[in-house]
A and B are shown apart, each in its own frame.
Chain A
Amino acid sequence: MPDAQSQTVSAPSRRRFLLRGESAIASAGLTVMALMVCVMIASVWWAQRTQRTAVREARERQVNAAAQLLAQSSELLLAEGELTAVRRMVADAARDNHFEICRIILPDGRILASAQPNESKLRDLPAEWEARVAPQSEGLAAQNQWPLLIPGRGPAVLSISGGDTYVAGPNNLAAGVLAIGSIALFALLFLYRRMRFSMRGLGAVREALSALAGGESQPEALLISADLGPEVQAWNGLIRETERVRRADLAEKAREAVGRRQENKGELEAACDAISQGIILIDDQCRVRYANGAATVFLSSKREALVGGDITKFLQVPDVLADVRAITAGSSRRRSTHDVERREEGSESGPVAGVLRFSVRPVRREDAGSAMITIEDITQQRVAEESRNRFVAQATHELRTPLTNIRLYIETAIDEGEENPATRAKCLNIINGETRRLERIVGEMLSVAEIEAGSFELRYDDVRAESLFEDLKMEFEPQAAEKNIKLTFNLPPKFPTIQGDRDKITLAIHNLIANSLKYTPTGGRIDVSVEFSNQQLTVQVKDSGIGISEEEQDKVFDRFYRAKDTRVSKITGTGLGLTLAREVVRLHGGDIHVDSKLDHGSTFTLTIPTQKKAA
């Protein structure tokens, strides 16, 4: 087993290595070529340098030999007084050896002979001259000068210059090699980039193939950016075509499935079967003449058994059957409607599975009476109606309490206010509080209406969380003190600014604290903890209240829902506070969770992002 595992692990690794290898081979090739070009340029430079040294040394030897020969010859000829011959010899030597300057100079600076004919000013060879400065042979040689000693006349100096020869060839060769090398390098770079580009496309296709082999079938996941080359474009085309074929196949299969389901129904029968209300036609013998599809569902029977059968075998609702019998017997033509609660299968007293409305109508016929029963499922309407009724009752109660208080305290203020300013102030204070309570209740009702209509919107602004919690603290501390509940706010030292709807966020947190305050008995405690982390505001409201049973914890956020606990029913409430709180928080991108244990209290945790999420 380990071997098999290692094989499965090593296969993708090998693929990755190969993918990397292509790139490495291309990079190594480019590096080797670049090194070869550099070596070639270095070789040419070295050959040029060696050649120049050899040429310079040969030239030096040539100049030395020519100078020594010229010096010896000049000494002999000048000793003989053959100045003209010496001058010719100097000119010939300069021309033959490419000397720029070649002259014989006397110690006093006069030029005895020169390669330039007009430089020599002496017409004849002086008979004798005085040696002003004794020529040093070593120093003179270094300056391309050779000493002469003319027997019987005096010393002189042979001066030669212009012996360097410019070697042009190697420089041109180096420039040429450099240029060719550079062009080759750029060409290599260009080829390398093209190869890399091509490799990227092929590599991406290979990875997509691996994903395909690994079970990925989503075309979006297999498509590759088209700018990676023609191979990728071809691959994308292949994937799109495959997807098109797959969808066409899917559509064909679906059409076949639909086609198989087409039945040859009459238009009227098909129309009746499309109605969600059940229709049953009954003749004067109480036999079913016709029943549509919905009727068979409501009566939990098959159409073949129902049609032609006795209705009393399928319908066990005495009131409905009595009306049917009366109509078919011709003794009544009264229309009637009956709402019947339907229990769960096989249960006489179990929970209600639904509410069916049976409407019995006479059908006018010449020979005898016949009846029609229509059946309608009104369960959801009944539930909604009950919710509405419950809400209206609770809302009425909620509105009546503050209105009664307001009326009573206005009366007190009118009766006693003029004589007792303290009483008047107290009354006004209570009236003010009750008015705010009324305002909040009406606001909640409006918000619920907006949620129902789908028009509940947030007005985003920068919210200063510090002042928000200060307001809540000021509002709830007196209420907690009045109920002898220890209310603690654990607030952070610094508050960031939140992007959100201040009124709605306040409403959500307000509802959580108010809820805890409402369901925490006297002497209990409530801890409100606020934290900011990871751009998220977390508010935890923990109370020691009556708690919520596990099965009701999900339901407390439902509209108009109030827990079944008898202690809850004694406390006024609309069942909207938590619904609104969660709706508001979810609209801000956050959520509310509850963790509770019956008789041990509840903890509501609200999280909300501090920054508005991009749309």
Chain B
Amino acid sequence: MKISEQQQGAVVVLRPEGPLVEGVIEEFKQRVLKTLAASMGRFVVDMSAVPFVDSLALEGMMDVSDELSKGGQVLRICAANKTVREVLELTDLASHFDHFDDANAAVRSFL
């Protein structure tokens, strides 16, 4: 899975490309956890290129969220499409993440 990385100030913006499903979720999770450790949680997951997610992806995101919550932080995601947002709403997981309209807004939230 292609995951591009961009530095905006002190914040890392991770942008996975493609559906987050079984087979790629472990790679995604490891990459996010590595970024988390390197940036002390100053990162954002840009979901603009993720068409949909499955239950394993939700599990993976919850693992990352758990890891962040240990430091009193929350997983910041941005630009998720309607399908992904609906899945998060339906599964009552939306409250576990901070969602922003775009990467700039998410980066500004660290100020």
A573 contacts chain B at the CB level, 8 A cutoff:
no
Asked if A293 and B69 sit within 8 Å, CB to CB, the answer is: yes
Asked if B42 and A377 sit within 8 Å, CB to CB, the answer is: yes
Max chain A Cβ within 10 angstroms of own Cβ: one of B38, B55, B58: B55
29 A-B pairs (CB sep. < 8 Å) = A250-B55, A250-B58, A250-B90, A251-B90, A251-B91, A254-B59, A254-B91, A254-B92, A254-B93, A255-B91, A258-B62, A273-B69, A273-B70, A273-B72, A274-B72, A276-B71, A276-B73, A278-B71, A297-B40, A297-B70, A344-B38, A353-B40, A354-B39, A354-B42, A377-B41, A377-B42, A379-B10, A384-B111, A554-B6
Residues of A within 8 Å of B10, CB to CB, are: 354, 379-380, 382-383
Chain B interface (Cβ within 8 Å of chain A)?
6, 8-11, 38-42, 52, 54-55, 58-59, 62, 66, 69-73, 87, 90-93, 96, 107, 110-111
Residues of B within 8 Å of A382, CB to CB, are: 10
A603 contacts chain B at the CB level, 8 A cutoff:
no
Distance between A272 CB and nearest chain B CB, rounded to angstroms: 8
Asked if B42 and A379 sit within 8 Å, CB to CB, the answer is: yes
- Interface size on A, as a range, is 35 or more
Candidates A257, A293, A344, A554; contact of B72 at CB < 8 Å: A293
New A-B pairs, 19, CB < 8 Å, besides A247-B90, A251-B90, A380-B42:
A250-B90, A253-B55, A254-B92, A255-B91, A261-B62, A273-B69, A274-B69, A276-B41, A277-B72, A278-B71, A296-B70, A297-B40, A298-B40, A342-B40, A353-B40, A354-B10, A380-B111, A382-B10, A384-B111
Distance between A556 CB and nearest chain B CB, rounded to angstroms: 14
In the complex, residue of chain A having the shortest beta-carbon distance to the beta carbon of B110? A380
Residues of B within 8 Å of A258, CB to CB, are: 62, 92-93, 96
Asked if B71 and A294 sit within 8 Å, CB to CB, the answer is: yes
* Alpha-carbon gap, A345 to B38, bound state (A): 8
Chain A interface (Cβ within 8 Å of chain B)?
218, 247, 249-251, 253-255, 257-258, 261, 273-278, 292-294, 296-298, 342, 344-345, 353-354, 377, 379-384, 387, 554, 558
In the A-B complex, list the 5 residue pairs whose CB atoms are closest, starting with the nearest: A297-B71, A254-B91, A379-B10, A380-B110, A294-B72
Residues of B within 8 Å of A257, CB to CB, are: 58-59, 62
Max chain B Cβ within 10 angstroms of own Cβ: one of A273, A379, A387: A379
Asked if A380 and B11 sit within 8 Å, CB to CB, the answer is: yes
Distance between B24 CB and nearest chain A CB, rounded to angstroms: 16
Residues of B within 8 Å of A353, CB to CB, are: 38-40
Distance between A51 CB and nearest chain B CB, rounded to angstroms: 77
Distance between B96 CB and nearest chain A CB, rounded to angstroms: 8
Distance between B21 CB and nearest chain A CB, rounded to angstroms: 10
Asked if B87 and A250 sit within 8 Å, CB to CB, the answer is: yes
* Alpha-carbon gap, A558 to B10, bound state (A): 13
* Alpha-carbon gap, A261 to B67, bound state (A): 11
Contacts known (A253-B55, A354-B42); A292 close to B93, Cβ less than 8 A: no
Residues of A within 8 Å of B92, CB to CB, are: 251, 254-255, 258
Candidates A218, A261, A294, A344; contact of B73 at CB < 8 Å: A294
* Alpha-carbon gap, A258 to B73, bound state (A): 17
* Alpha-carbon gap, A250 to B89, bound state (A): 11
Residues of B within 8 Å of A554, CB to CB, are: 6
In the complex, residue of chain B having the shortest beta-carbon distance to the beta carbon of A218? B52
In the complex, residue of chain A having the shortest beta-carbon distance to the beta carbon of B73? A276
Residues of B within 8 Å of A249, CB to CB, are: 55
Residues of B within 8 Å of A381, CB to CB, are: 111
Residues of A within 8 Å of B66, CB to CB, are: 261
Residues of B within 8 Å of A273, CB to CB, are: 69-70, 72
* Alpha-carbon gap, A380 to B110, bound state (A): 6
Residues of A within 8 Å of B91, CB to CB, are: 250-251, 254-255
Distance between A46 CB and nearest chain B CB, rounded to angstroms: 70
Residues of B within 8 Å of A296, CB to CB, are: 70-71
Asked if A380 and B41 sit within 8 Å, CB to CB, the answer is: no
Asked if A293 and B71 sit within 8 Å, CB to CB, the answer is: yes
Residues of B within 8 Å of A379, CB to CB, are: 10, 40, 42
Candidates B6, B9, B41, B55; contact of A387 at CB < 8 Å: B9
Residues of A within 8 Å of B40, CB to CB, are: 297-298, 342, 353-354, 377, 379
In the complex, residue of chain A having the shortest beta-carbon distance to the beta carbon of B9? A383
* Alpha-carbon gap, A254 to B61, bound state (A): 11
In the complex, residue of chain B having the shortest beta-carbon distance to the beta carbon of A355? B10
* Alpha-carbon gap, A354 to B39, bound state (A): 7
Max chain B Cβ within 10 angstroms of own Cβ: one of A254, A276, A345, A387: A254
Distance between A512 CB and nearest chain B CB, rounded to angstroms: 23
